[in-house]
Amino acid sequence: MNAISRWSASDIILLRGVWRQIIWFVLPVIVVQDSPELIALYWRAGTPNKIPEKRLTPMELLTTHKLDLVDRTWEETDVLMLVTPGASHAVYAMWESKHTRLKCWYVDLQDPLRRTSIGFDTMDHLLDIVISPDRSKWRWKDGGEFKEAVEIGLYSMEKAKAIRAEGERVIRLAEANQSPFCDGWERWSPPPEWQNPVFPDEWDRIDDRSS
């Protein structure tokens, strides 16, 4: 498919972390919506993925020039990823596997999604936010790693301030019950015929726009 084309609901595509021409993770996901207003992607517990053998430290993220990924399985939660095109974050609605009650809202601060010929690429910014289902409580996650990343120069001070400001903006959206938190996604469920996807061919192809 042409890299600029939009995906259709139920298409299986790849969500990847790509930075400095290195693939940091790969996850096959199912398209729920791909529109100018919203990109929604779904995966459930049991979905195969490819990740580093161990969690990388900020220093390893800074110094690694080649990375081997191993086969793993996404566990415990079913996830609906909600992204406003161009935004530097994704909001996950997360359910315990095979349950309909929302476990939490999870905010992943990341590069804006980049559309490729096989899906979407992004890169995680280490700092995340966990929000309770009713949005009454929230907490930063992995703040220590983020602080270390700034100290060693993985992120400039300007970049770090922008990342944290993006998180604070999403917290305000949650507290004010604004989109996507007010849109009823916590009541969404996938069609019963959807199965866990497998890896499409050429999962490791790097487009120029994905560096």
Q: Is 133 exposed, middle or buried (0-12, 13-18, 19+ CB in 10 A)?
A: middle
Q: What one-character-per-residue DSSP string does 119-169 give?
A: EEEE-EEEEEEEE-TTSS-EEEESHHHHHHHHHTTSS-HHHHHHHHHHHHH
Separation CA 19–CA 103 (nearest Å) = 30
Is position 159 annotated as part of the catalytic site? no
The phi, psi pair for 58, rounded to 5°, reads -55, -40
Active-site option among 141, 147, 159, 161? 141
Q: Where do the DSSP E strands lie in the chain?
A: 12-19, 22-34, 39-43, 48-52, 69-73, 77-83, 89-96, 102-110, 114-115, 119-122, 124-131, 138-141
> What DSSP state is assigned to residue 188?
-
Give the active site residues: 141
